[in-house]
Amino acid sequence: MTTEAVLPADLETALPTTLFRFATAGSVDDGKSTLVGRLLHDSKAILADQLDAVARTSADRGFGGEKGGIDLALLTDGLRAEREQGITIDVAYRYFATDQRSFILADCPGHVQYTKNTVTGASTADAVVVLIDARKGVLEQTRRHLSVLQLLRVAHVIVAVNKIDLVDFSESVFRDIEADVQQVGRELGLGSDGISDLLVIPVSALDGDNVVERSERTPWYTGPALLEVLETLPAADELESHLESFRFPVQLVIRPQGALAPDAVAAGLDVEAYRDYRAYAGQITEGSVKVGDQVSVLTPGQSPRTTTVVGIDFAGASLEEAAAPQSVAIRLADEFDVARGDTIAAAGTVREASADLYAALCWLSPKPLREGQKVLVKHGTRTVQAMVRSVSGKLDLATFKLEGASNLELNDIGHAQLRLAAPLPLENYLHHRRTGAFLVIDPLDGNTLAAGLVKDHPGDHEDERYSI
């Protein structure tokens, strides 16, 4: 895919607004908070009272010198400590909307714990905007960010080359950086793996060039502004629901046994017909399902049981089909014993459950990981005990090479093998963003230790691109 942003042809579709989640990542001082502030400000998401407060604080601090002006970064720093120290500490969520879309923006701080914050923001993002300072170009931290995004399989990566005004809107500076980004993309497989795409846009967050409106000061750039790109890229679920097979982790069983909702009864629900109602509630994590589909029920320690979907219910409506990420309740033809933690999947599409887990772990805790440690693994709706058998290496995010390591520390990404107390229906994260993801939890205090991405077992056919 080309690196200069190109819009899809058929973007004029007058449908209800859709939801798009994106994250921003950047290094210190590359103007990320300013960019976020600019997007919010220019898309009119900032209301008068918020703007007044920011203007007062900007003036108090003498922002912009005699010219005045407002410090857009103040719009995003929410905690007292952040305002006092002038830094962003934690991921903050922001909301704005255009006629086409509602946006959820995860603003991820760049300097402290960037891996933790980037992994967190990217795990739910349809797109991630990475900022580069046009005066500095691709830095080691840019390589780290792109590496994490490739690992997390983010569908759309947008590199915003910021402060283009400070290099006199120079095309050659932009083209050099663009070529460097492209080179890093090639090394990582980002943008050329059929999963992700990689776009590069010249912007000035401070002045607004190519943020919401295309800029006349970059005539050599013919692509869309950042917001246009965000408005038109397909969300990850839109891209995937037709490609992936149906997966449905059961959250709980809805079985009222006569304890029907009084408001539903008052509205005319047939009490007799619902006396033996039994349905499995959950959110479709991947793919889609239709009434009449053959499905397998996967229960750890048992062979898959195959049956037919006879109903898809949602709050009194019977659906013919449903797709990720819908929350529904599914009824099956056979009265199996199905419980929380089981998975309902399209028949014949799931490998055997395994108690051996090979994974990439993004270590998010100050407590380091050591071999032999006992942890909990939360996968879908099931949590099992596990033991860390071995750590096979740590990723150098700048060179994308695996180095020898026997433990993992905060912000490290490494490879490990775990032994699970019960087999889980694990799938390679590369192809299954949801069923290939898990949490590692500390059994002592319950804190989240790591984000886990399932890898194929060594010896299985492994995708080359994933072998970093």
Partner 1 sequence: MSTSLTEETQVTDAAVSTRLSSLDTLESEAIHIIREVVAEFEKPALLFSGGKDSVVMLHLATKAFWPGKVPFPVLHVDTGHNFPEVIDFRDRTVERLGLKLVVGSVQEFIDRGELAERADGTRNPLQTVPLLDAIQQNKFDAVFGGGRRDEDKARAKERILSLRDEFGQWDPRNQRPELWNLYNGRHTVGQHVRAFPISNWTELDIWRYIERENIELPGLYYAHEREVFARDGMWRAVGEVSQPREGEQVITKTVRYRTVGDMSCTGAVESNAYTVSDVVVEVAASTLTERGATRADDRISEAAMEDRKKDGYF
User: Residue 459 — left, alpha, or beta (φ > 0 → left; ψ -120 to 50 → alpha)?
Assistant: left
Question: Which among 195-203, 343-351, 367-375, 443-451 is the span making contact with partner 1, rule CB under 8 A?
Answer: 443-451
Q: How far is the CB of 155 from partner 1 (least distance, A)?
A: 14
Cβ distance to partner 1 smaller for residue 65 or 315: 315
Query: Which residue matches tokens 């005045």?
Result: 68
Across the strands, what pairs with 338? Answer: none
Across the strands, what pairs with 198? Answer: 157
Site residues for partner 1, 18-37, by CB under 8 A, read 18-19
What is the Cα–Cα distance from 38 to 44, expressed in whole angstroms? 10
Contact with partner 1 (CB under 8 A): which of 77, 126, 197, 456?
A: 77
Cβ distance to partner 1 smaller for residue 167 or 324: 324
Q: What is the DSSP letter of 283?
A: E
Question: Which among 185-193, 215-223, 236-244, 399-407 is the span making contact with partner 1, rule CB under 8 A?
Answer: 236-244
Contact with partner 1 (CB under 8 A): which of 10, 259, 404, 464?
A: 259
Contacts of 452 (CB under 8 A, 6+ apart): 357, 359, 360, 361, 362, 377, 437, 438, 439, 440
Q: How far is the CB of 238 from partner 1 (least distance, A)?
A: 5
Site residues for partner 1, 331-360, by CB under 8 A, read 331, 340
**CA-CA distances (angstroms) from residue 317 to 48, 289, 320, 328, 331?**
42, 16, 10, 10, 13
What is the Cα–Cα distance from 416 to 410, expressed in whole angstroms? 15
Q: Are 322 and 331 in contact (CB under 8 A)?
A: no
Q: Is 49 in the site for partner 1 (CB under 8 A)?
A: yes
Q: Is 321 in the site for partner 1 (CB under 8 A)?
A: yes
Pairing of strands 327-332, 413-424: unpaired
Question: Which among 25-33, 178-186, 218-226, 374-382 is the span making contact with partner 1, rule CB under 8 A?
Answer: 374-382
Question: Which among 50-58, 139-147, 194-202, 408-416 is the span making contact with partner 1, rule CB under 8 A?
Answer: 50-58
* DSSP string of 65-85, one letter each residue: GGG----GGGGT--SHHHHHH
Q: Is 410 in the site for partner 1 (CB under 8 A)?
A: no
Contact with partner 1 (CB under 8 A): which of 38, 41, 94, 455?
A: 94
What is the Cα–Cα distance from 209 to 215, expressed in whole angstroms? 5
Question: Which among 28-36, 213-221, 283-291, 400-408 is the span making contact with partner 1, rule CB under 8 A?
Answer: 283-291
Q: Is 447 in the site for partner 1 (CB under 8 A)?
A: yes
3-class secondary structure, 55:
helix
Q: Is 434 in the site for partner 1 (CB under 8 A)?
A: yes
Q: How far is the CB of 371 from partner 1 (least distance, A)?
A: 23
Largest CA distance in the chain: 76
Q: Is 364 in the site for partner 1 (CB under 8 A)?
A: yes
Q: Is 382 in the site for partner 1 (CB under 8 A)?
A: no
Cβ distance to partner 1 smaller for residue 8 or 16: 16
Q: Is 220 in the site for partner 1 (CB under 8 A)?
A: no
Omega before residue 368 within 30° of 0, cis: no
Q: Are 333 and 344 in contact (CB under 8 A)?
A: no
Contact with partner 1 (CB under 8 A): which of 1, 55, 104, 139?
A: 104
Contact with partner 1 (CB under 8 A): which of 33, 285, 296, 428?
A: 285
- For residue 327, the number of C-alpha atoms closer than 13 Å in the C-beta half-sphere is 4
Q: Is 109 in the site for partner 1 (CB under 8 A)?
A: no
Contact with partner 1 (CB under 8 A): which of 87, 212, 269, 421?
A: 269
Q: Is 42 in the site for partner 1 (CB under 8 A)?
A: no
**CA-CA distances (angstroms) from residue 379 to 40, 43, 342?**
35, 38, 11
Question: Which among 3-11, 31-39, 198-206, 277-285 is the span making contact with partner 1, rule CB under 8 A?
Answer: 277-285
Cβ distance to partner 1 smaller for residue 64 or 443: 443
Q: Are 228 and 255 in contact (CB under 8 A)?
A: no
Q: Is 421 in the site for partner 1 (CB under 8 A)?
A: no
